[in-house]
Structure 1
Amino acid sequence: MPTITLLTRIQADKSIVFNLSRSIELHLISSKKNKEKVVGGRKSGLIELGETVTWRAKHLGVYQNFTSKIIGCETDKYFADEMTSGAFESFKHEHYFFEKNDCTFQIDVLEFKSPFGVLGKLVDFLFLKTYMANFLKKRNETIKEYAESEKWKEIVLIA
């Protein structure tokens, strides 16, 4: 099962980073290139424990729906989402937040498994792991951009 671990250093308050990471609007901004939109579940604001969101986006030339559910949440420290339906056999994304030297560090741990057995493993190895890592990096660059400026106030009302 491929695992992507990504560390992002952000010069901002941990609660701002945590809330931007749960923001439906911020996710849509970061995934504009994929023509992403919300088609079900939580449609705006900050997603909470037990809630779901269904995204529709164009990835690798194909429109796909992906539904995830928030399966764990500890304010300003951690949250996790897991796919309940979509193109993967399994998909879990954990988000950790900690502060050090006036910075927030966001750690993403993404584990996924493609369907189709050996063929899926080959796809993961050849390009999908890199594609997913780049998608996460773009998302985190957007979080960083908004958190390190006053732009976060456009997205998160209370931090």
Structure 2
Amino acid sequence: MPTSFEVVTLVHAPPGLVFDTSLSVEAHTTSMAASRERAVAGVTSGRLGADDQVTWQARHFGLPWRLTSVISVCERPGYFVDEQVAGPFRHWRHAHHFVLAPDGQSTIMRDVVEFAAPAGPLGAAVEALVLRRYMTRLILARNAHLKRTTEAAARSAE
């Protein structure tokens, strides 16, 4: 059974802008600068779309990692999913939801992440003790960057 968690972020920008920024390779790599994440194969710049694949290379826990994901669902401006097709996880699925907030101007961005480590019972222990907390912090850092970026872009467009 995969581990899952959810992160909700309020962004003071319209859903279309938040959606588009979330699919930007450059926004992703900037948000993951601490792990030196970069796109090394597939779509390596610009905005990802349906069926696009990208291979990410990064350092986590002091070790090099490579993960290839595909945008398996892309329904602008409300929803997209990226899923691992090759990499370190037994299972990785990240659903991104974008809903207009009650104020009619902001976006409620909801990330639902499901993952499973390899290595059976040992992997399950690592998920529970380390990976869930680590992955949640990565998504929180990514969302903080997306929030700053899209809010600044929305203000400059006014």
Q: Partner of 1:30 in structure 2?
A: 31
Q: TM-score scaled by structure 2?
A: 0.94
Provide the C-alpha distance between the structure 2 equivalents of 1:59 and 1:147, rounded to a whole number of angstroms: 26
Shift of 1:150: 2.9
CA displacement, residues 97-146 of structure 1 (integer Å, 9 cap, x when unaligned)? 00121210011000000000100010011111000000000000000000
Give the aligned length: 153
Q: Does 1:78 find its partner at 2:79?
A: yes
Q: Partner of 2:134 in structure 1?
A: 131
Q: Partner of 1:43 in structure 2?
A: 44
Shift of 1:95: 0.4
In the alignment, structure 1 segments of 5+ residues that lack a partner are 154-159
Q: Secondary structure at the match of 2:153?
A: coil
Q: 1:145 aligns with which of 136, 139, 148?
A: 148
Q: Contact 2:13/2:154 (CA < 8 Å) preserved in 1?
A: no
Shift of 1:82: 0.4
In the alignment, structure 2 segments of 5+ residues that lack a partner are none
- For 2:94, the aligned partner's letter is H
Kindly report structure 1 stretches of 4+ aligned residues shifted beyond 6 Å: none
Shift of 1:151: 8.3
The share of aligned pairs that are identical, in percent, is 34
Q: Partner of 1:157 in structure 2?
A: none
Q: Does 1:52 find its partner at 2:53?
A: yes
Q: Contact 1:55/1:65 (CA < 8 Å) preserved in 2?
A: yes
Provide the C-alpha distance between the structure 2 equivalents of 1:50 and 1:14, rounded to a whole number of angstroms: 21
Shift of 1:37: 1.3
Q: Contact 2:70/2:82 (CA < 8 Å) preserved in 1?
A: yes
CA displacement, residues 57-102 of structure 1 (integer Å, 9 cap, x when unaligned)? 0011100110000000111000001000110001000001001212
RMSD: 1.3
Q: Contact 1:20/1:152 (CA < 8 Å) preserved in 2?
A: no
Q: Contact 1:49/1:72 (CA < 8 Å) preserved in 2?
A: yes
Shift of 1:4: 1.1
- For 2:77, the aligned partner's letter is D
Q: Secondary structure at the match of 2:141?
A: helix
Assess, with a 3 A threshold, how the Cα gap between structure 1 residues 53 and 114 changes in structure 2: closer, same or farther.
Answer: same
